[in-house]
Structure 1
């Protein structure tokens, strides 16, 4: 796992997308705290940065399907993990993202 001092120093290349996984609730609606072992990781993430897009056979940029700030559905496994302090992030390729979540 790569470690950096600041996430702002990381700029994705080509068709890569930098995301941060959404944290699962550790407290129920009635105020009961859940143990960490019972809280599953969510497959939802927020897009923090995107690359300029991949290149097609003619050398033209392929537009990215997501933008900074989008909420996306990511695969349970995969991506390249990155750690900044205590925070964890992941880099995925644009085509690896499962869906964009609309508000």
Structure 2
């Protein structure tokens, strides 16, 4: 039996999995020149589309997720599970595999020179 995914809304990540879509690189430079597709590199930035409920620790307690739907994150160059829906490609990663969250931090900015 073959099943086809028709809508991204039908995908619900389980446990500590996160569904993301890579941000497409601009094909136009700041000066207005258009770059050929072969010159545009794939970005490691992605938008979080859906988040699972979180994994379980050794005592069976739910571990909260580090990102939320709508957040922007840096993902590893390789890894994750690709999911193709129509012509679009999405990726499933574990919550712990992200390199960096690009969301606005709830903490105030710290001057690094003060810490030295």
Structure 1 length-normalised TM: 0.94
Q: How many residues are aligned here?
A: 102
Q: What are the Cα deviations for residues 19-75 of structure 1, in whole angstroms up to 9, with x where unaligned?
A: 000000011122211011111100100000000000001111000000000000000
Partner of 2:67: 66
The answer for unaligned runs of 5 or more in structure 1 is none
Partner SS state of residue 65, structure 1? coil
Give the Cα–Cα distance (whole angstroms) in 1 for the partners of residues 46 and 70 of structure 2. Answer: 10
Give the Cα–Cα distance (whole angstroms) in 1 for the partners of residues 70 and 12 of structure 2. Answer: 15
The answer for unaligned runs of 5 or more in structure 2 is 105-116
Partner of 1:78: 79
Residue 22 (structure 2) pairs with residue 21 (structure 1): yes
Higher strand fraction (1 or 2): 1
Partner SS state of residue 95, structure 1? helix
Could you say what the CA RMSD is over the residues aligned between the two structures, in angstroms?
1.3
